[in-house]
Amino acid sequence: MRPVLELKHVSHVYVSEKEASLAIESVDLKVQPGEFISLVGPSGCGKTTLLSLLAGLLLPTEGEMLFHGKQVKGPSTKVGYMLQQDYLFPWRTIRENALLGLEVSKQLTDNAGERMEQLLADMGLDGVADRYPHELSGGMRQRVALVRTLMASPEVLLLDEPFSALDMHIKLQLEDLVQLTLTRLGKTAVLVTHDLAEAAAMSDRVILLGSRPGRIRQIFDIPPDIRELPPTAARRSAGFQDLFDSIWSELEAEEGEEADSP
């Protein structure tokens, strides 16, 4: 199968007044259609840089970043992105927020409203379209942000710790909802997270990154019996703890090495 996203020997350098620093070095990665992968690793491993590259917000200093075999030159509606917080515009109603992507890309059609109502209803958000963001709870707002991203019909979703600002039980609910929705719509997804359990429970593959400079350290394929369960059930399944422990010990080892080096 041809990958949706492909990184070929990608390196990225940040230049500031103080220095030029290598954020990620020679990363090779293929993301297959319909796949859900997670990027985990210690801070400074370039998770977010990698996600920004995939989104087209940054361009690689070296190497190639391909979407369906074509070089990425900037952000597009084909690749959706969910931020850590919802960042709904407080001056717009939920409806206007959800339709923002289509408005920006000038694809606003008559039936968009219907589609949006349907998506909101799928997320358990009936009857909020005319409310303002401040009238909704954090979990509801993050769901609206997901609708906003999905309305632009992206093929790939990039998730930048979208659950990290939420309470535990809402976070678990949303993990299930997001995975279910993405599977149903056949979307490809790349999740960046601090939470190893979240990565293991949601993904098909977990990619552990090493830091300074960021590079791929190890790839874990999640066994099918865990992969096919919704995240909350996966967390409770038999092999989950062992899987978690093996990722955990690798991450510990990586952080240990980092601490040893000057």
Residues whose CB is less than 8 angstroms from the CB of residue 244 and which lie 6 or more positions away in sequence, other chains included: 196, 197, 200
Determine the length of the chain. Answer: 262
Measure the CA–CA gap between 30 and 168, rounded to whole angstroms.
32
**Measuring CA to CA, how many Å separate 211 from each of 28, 40, 127, 162?**
15, 11, 45, 22
Nearer to other proteins, 50 or 247 (CB): 50
Min. distance of Cβ 94 from other proteins in angstroms?
A: 12
Measure the CA–CA gap between 141 and 123, rounded to whole angstroms.
11
Instruction: List residues bridging with 190 in a β-sheet.
Output: 37, 158
Min. distance of Cβ 79 from other proteins in angstroms?
A: 8
Min. distance of Cβ 122 from other proteins in angstroms?
A: 21
Min. distance of Cβ 74 from other proteins in angstroms?
A: 7
Nearer to other proteins, 48 or 61 (CB): 48
**213-242 burial, b if ≥16 CB within 10 A, otherwise e?**
bbbbbbebebeeebbebbbeebbeeeebee
Nearer to other proteins, 59 or 253 (CB): 59
Query: What type of residue is 182?
Result: L
Nearer to other proteins, 105 or 118 (CB): 105
Report the chain's terminal Cα–Cα distance, integer Å.
43
Measure the CA–CA gap between 55 and 35, rounded to whole angstroms.
17
**Strand 205-210 with 62-67, pairing:** unpaired
Min. distance of Cβ 80 from other proteins in angstroms?
A: 8
Measure the CA–CA gap between 184 and 161, rounded to whole angstroms.
21
Nearer to other proteins, 147 or 247 (CB): 147
Min. distance of Cβ 105 from other proteins in angstroms?
A: 6
Nearer to other proteins, 107 or 183 (CB): 107
Min. distance of Cβ 167 from other proteins in angstroms?
A: 17
Min. distance of Cβ 230 from other proteins in angstroms?
A: 27
Q: Residues interacting with other proteins, by CB under 8 A?
A: 55, 57, 74-77, 80-81, 83, 85, 87, 89-93, 100-101, 103-105, 132-134, 152
Residues whose CB is less than 8 angstroms from the CB of residue 253 and which lie 6 or more positions away in sequence, other chains included: none
Nearer to other proteins, 157 or 206 (CB): 157
Nearer to other proteins, 13 or 57 (CB): 57
